[in-house]
Every structure is written in C-alpha cells, then in structure tokens.
Amino acid sequence: MRGVLVTKNDKDISATLQDIDEQQLPEGNVTVRVHWSSFNYKDVLAITGKMPVIRSYPMVPGIDLAGVVESSDDDRYRVGQEVLVTGYGIGEAHWGGYAELARVPGDWLVPLPEGLTMRQSMAIGTAGFTAMLCVMALERGGVTPDQGPILVTGAGGGVGSVAIGLLSKLGYEVAAVSGRPEAADYLKELGASEVLSRSEFSQPGKPLGKERWAGAVDVVGSHTLANICASTKYDGIVMACGLAGGMEFPATVAPFILRGVTLVGIDSVQCKQPRRSEAWQRLVEDLDLAKLETMTNEIQLDDVIETAKNWGQSDHRGRVVVAVQS
C-alpha cells in the first residue's frame, strides 16, 4: 500500500511517500480502504516535526479518514460499508489516514451518515466536528440567536469557517475575527455579519470590558481568550477549542463571578460516542453543503508532504481534503 510514513533517526524527523508493507498496520479489528482524508495544522506539525505531536515512530499521519470496510472482526461493521474516523489519536499515536489502508478498533468508527459523501465527511473532518461540538455546547448553555452576536476567532481556518456556516444557518449573528483583511469577503459569504481584526483581541486587556458577545468560539487561547471572556455578556458561553496563540490563559475570575460567564472546554479527540454520533447527524442537518464546498480545496496524497512544508507561506483558508486513492 502507498502511504506517507514519518520516521525519526536520533533527532532527525523525515516524511516520505512510499510503499508500506500491510503487515506493519497497527492492531485493530477493522481494516478500512481509505478513500479520503483531510489536511489539518496538526498534520503539518506531524510531518515537519515542528512540534512533537507524534508519540511513536514510524507513524502514518492524517488525523481523519473516510473509506470502505475491507475486512472486519466487529459485528457492527460489514465489508463494503462506508465509515469514517476522527480523533482517538490517529495520526499521532495510531497510524492515520495518509495511507491506502488503515486498521483501527471498531469502537472508533462512525458509519458514514446518510446524506454525506466520504469526501464531504472529510471536508468537515475534525475541524467541522469540533465546530459542531461548540454549537451544541452553546445550545446546551441556553444561548439563543436573540441574545446577541457570537464571536468566532480564527475565522478563516477550518473550525472557524464551519462554525460561521453552522451558526449563521441556525439564525445567529456572527462576528468573525481574522488576521487577514483580504478574507473579509470570503467570511461574509459564509455568513459573518462583520469581520474584526485579530489585533483587537491579541494584546493584554482589562479584567472586564464592555459586554459585547452572547457567546464565542475560540481557537486561539492566550490573551485572545481572556479578552473574549472579559467582553462576554451576562450568562454568556465561551467555547475554548484551540491554542493557536498559546496555552496560557492570562485572565481573572471577574467575568465568571461578576457576569456568570461559562467557559466550556471542547475536546473532539476523546468525545464519547453518543455525543459524537449526535454531532455528525447535526452536521448533516445544519451545515449548508453548498457552502462547505466553497470552503474546500482538494489535494492528492502525493501533494501532502509538500503542502505541509509550505504551510503558512500562502493563504490557506477553509478546509483541505486529501484524495488518498490514486
């Protein structure tokens, strides 16, 4: 089988596209012929070695995959069934989606939801799944569209783009935060009513600011997350689902004890199956698939390593799917 394999020799990490012996596939009771994967920042880090996201070597990266069951020792899955996997450490601790075959435990699989193609499921991928978990948390917290705008940071990225599409379709007013002024038209096409500069949120701020947001989806962390909490309305909900700006949280307790703001952590990796299944069904119902296509770019498996090396040198926005089968 063809695949991308990341190896480590002393301190040197290298990634190559090569023929891999199927006997090397990791343990699992379901083997999937992978048709599609997606491309995420975590995959960039895995391939380039810029951060130690890979926990064991050699590793096939790719934190998402969708394909067809090739063999199964799990009664829940039959040969020929279309399935997907996101999370559970694939591409980090267990071989992932950048190879023509994958072997995983059946407990990690989700049957492809009716109404989605495998390609569409990977256009959603971990990023869109995370965005849906944020929307569900907002709803559980009782925030409704009439209560005010929802702020979305990292708006041009995968999580942000899908979050804008979902929230706007559900009737929420969305304010998008981006570091790229040229992305404003794209973000408004997705459903944002206004686009704000990243610089408004990235510097140290006051413990409490003017109440502006009924809720927020934040992928940045650090000062950005602290400033969002400080300017969230009474009883507002803030979803933290990323740390692109840093892991630290330089905030005070003021928003939480004086305004009743709730900070909710969103984990898409180990999300339990009942909520996972609900999220995928909601994505079928609540995401405009035409908008999803406008935010999706496609590359081939042969392009993955070069794309990772060049990430950040050009304008990347929305989602990237990887066609695994040549």
Query: At what angle are helices 273-286 and 158-169 packed, to 10 degrees?
Result: 70
- Output the tens digit of pLDDT for each of the chain's 326 residues: 999 999 999 888 999 999 999 999 999 999 999 999 999 989 999 999 988 899 999 999 999 999 999 999 999 999 999 999 999 999 999 999 999 999 999 999 999 999 999 999 999 999 999 999 999 999 999 999 999 999 999 999 999 999 999 999 999 999 999 999 999 999 999 999 999 999 999 999 999 999 999 999 999 999 999 999 999 999 999 999 999 999 999 999 999 999 999 999 999 999 999 999 999 999 999 999 999 999 999 999 999 999 999 987 666 789 999 999 97
Alpha carbons 272 and 280: distance in angstroms, whole number:
12
Q: Could you give the residue range(s) of every CATH 3.90.180.10 domain in the chain?
A: 2-112+295-323
How far is residue 109 from each of residues 37, 256, 262, measured CA to CA in Å?
Answer: 14, 37, 32
- The pTM assigned to this predicted structure is 0.95
Q: Which amino acid appears at position 99 of this protein?
A: A
Task: Determine the pLDDT at residue 315.
Answer: 64
Task: Determine the pLDDT at residue 314.
Answer: 61
- Do the beta carbons of residue 273 and residue 247 sit within 8 Å? no
- Which candidate, 32, 122, 119, places its Cα nearest to that of 74? 32
Phi/psi for 161 (5° steps) reads: -60, -45
* DSSP code of residue 121: H
How far is residue 25 from each of residues 20, 108, 299, measured CA to CA in Å?
Answer: 9, 16, 24
Separation of CA 229 from chain center: 22
Task: Determine the pLDDT at residue 118.
Answer: 98
Q: Is 18 strand, coil or helix?
A: strand
Alpha carbons 96 and 128: distance in angstroms, whole number:
18
**Any bridge partners for residue 152, and if so which?**
176, 217
How far is residue 273 from each of residues 69, 81, 182, 278, 297, measured CA to CA in Å?
Answer: 19, 19, 39, 8, 29
Task: Determine the pLDDT at residue 326.
Answer: 78
Alpha carbons 83 and 174: distance in angstroms, whole number:
32
Burial group, residue 115, by CB count within 10 angstroms (0-12, 13-18, 19+): exposed
Q: Could you give the residue range(s) of every CATH 3.40.50.720 domain in the chain?
A: 125-265
Domain 2-112+295-323, CATH class in plain words = alpha beta
12-19/232-240 β-pairing = unpaired
Return the C-alpha torsion angle 96, 98, 103, 109, nearest 10.
60
Alpha carbons 83 and 72: distance in angstroms, whole number:
12
Structure tokens at 1: 């089988």
The domain made up of 125-265 has a fold known as: Rossmann fold (3.40.50)
Question: CB under 8 Å to 271, separation ≥6 — which residues?
Answer: 87, 133, 279
